[in-house]
Amino acid sequence: MTFDDSKWVWKNGEVIPWANATTHVSTHALHYGSGVFEGMRCYETTDGPAVFRLEAHLDRLYASAEVHGLEIPYSRHEMVAAVCEIVARNGFRSCYVRPICYLGSGSLGVHPGNNPVDVAILAWPWAPYLGAEGLEQGVRVTVSPWRKFQSRMMPTTAKACGQYLNSMLAVRDAVSRGFAEALLLDADDNLAEGSGENLFIVRDGQLVTNDERHSILLGITRDSVLQLARDLGYHVEIRALQLADLLSASEAFFTGTAAEVTPIREVDGTVIGQGARGPVTEEIQSVFFAATAGRDERYKNWLHPIDSKPAETEAELLQKVG
Ligand SMILES: Cc1ncc(COP(=O)(O)O)c(C=O)c1O
């Protein structure tokens, strides 16, 4: 992953060059993780670039902000326009989009007082998070020695910056031991989720996944997969998942904006199913990618087209920012 192709950033209402998108070291969020963010993907579709599930991501962004008492100083309409503008301005046909709203500089009391809420939107090209090969062959994962924090400690359904230290501990441990990703258990020994993905298993031709009662972020990819799996005629059960369920599953996969739909082929040396992408996972992947590419009429309303023309020319913008 590199930011090399990303030339412009949207920050506090303006499009500015990447190099100027800085923040002061007294920023509250830098010290305490007091921000909320989203991760979405813009896909190249049959009708041009479009952001997948933009409205759902913005719903979650505003909900996360509310949980943490951050008042986003832009309307939804302005945020939609800003996301489209930054993708178009960078000239991307497909990319990852990262809006972040965070407490800026003002006070470093843990109680943030009247610190401003700063808002930025980044966009950059990002290949499948667990690798293109992982999408086809499946990935090897490990059960983390780190537990997923519980909602009684911090709401897991809000996507807040500071909570990612928990994910970081888990993924660093997993990668250092040669695995692609970590799976975290919740405080009651149920499976929660990956460091950045939700978990599905396939048993007896049915799908099973857990929900927020097991300390997960309610993923938007999870929601999309729930819908398209039901449309494909699969029964989906939502319940607690035990490690034994996963180890004896015929298939398992992760869902996430970054990881998309990635099969899990092995957990700590135990092969899942045939140790390769299974037929149900493959079918779900193919409908998912048809949806993201705008090739499936049923899911076209999940795509928000990018107006391909930015408001100003690059020369006008460069002149404005000096
Ligand atoms: C901890 C965690 N769980 C699940 C997900 C999947 O969520 P989504 O499908 O909305 O990207 C993510 C990624 O955002 C995540 O960070």
Find out whether the beta carbon of 192 lies less than 6 Å from any atom of ligand 1: no
* pLDDT of the residue at 307: 79
- Distance (angstroms) between ligand 1 centre and the Cα of 165 equals 14
Residue 159 known to be catalytic: yes
Instruction: For residue 313, give the amino acid letter.
Output: T
Name the pairing type of β-strands 117-124 and 8-11. Answer: antiparallel
Considering the chain, tell me which residue range(s) the CATH 3.20.10.10 domain(s) occupy.
132-277
Q: Where are the beta strands (DSSP E) in the chain?
A: 8-11, 14-17, 35-37, 40-45, 48-52, 95-103, 117-124, 139-143, 181-185, 191-194, 198-203, 206-209, 236-238, 251-256, 260-267, 270-271, 303-305
Topology classification of domain 132-277: D-amino Acid Aminotransferase; Chain A, domain 2 (3.20.10)
The residue assigned the tokens 């813009």 is 42
Find out whether the beta carbon of 292 lies less than 6 Å from any atom of ligand 1: no
Find out whether the beta carbon of 198 lies less than 6 Å from any atom of ligand 1: yes
Cα angle 270-142-176, degrees, rounded to a multiple of 5: 130
Please provide residue 109's backbone torsions phi and psi, each rounded to the nearest 5 degrees.
-65, 150
* pLDDT of the residue at 64: 98
Find out whether the beta carbon of 255 lies less than 6 Å from any atom of ligand 1: yes
Q: Write down the CATH number for the domain with range 8-126+303-321.
A: 3.30.470.10
- Find, among 188, 204, 27, 182, the residue nearest to 101 by Cα: 27
* pLDDT of the residue at 315: 74
Find out whether the beta carbon of 219 lies less than 6 Å from any atom of ligand 1: yes
Residues of the chain with pLDDT under 50: none
Catalytic choice (7, 159, 300, 320):
159
Alpha-carbon distance 85 to 10, whole Å? 8
Alpha-carbon distance 149 to 215, whole Å? 7
Going by alpha carbons, the residue nearest to atom 12 of ligand 1 is 196
Going by alpha carbons, the residue nearest to atom 8 of ligand 1 is 219
Alpha-carbon distance 34 to 23, whole Å? 14
Q: pTM value?
A: 0.96
Considering the chain, tell me which residue range(s) the CATH 3.30.470.10 domain(s) occupy.
8-126+303-321
Alpha-carbon distance 226 to 13, whole Å? 35
pLDDT tens, position by position, 99-131: 999 999 999 999 989 999 999 999 999 988 888
pLDDT tens, position by position, 231-270: 999 999 999 999 999 999 999 999 999 999 999 999 999 9
Going by alpha carbons, the residue nearest to atom 2 of ligand 1 is 196
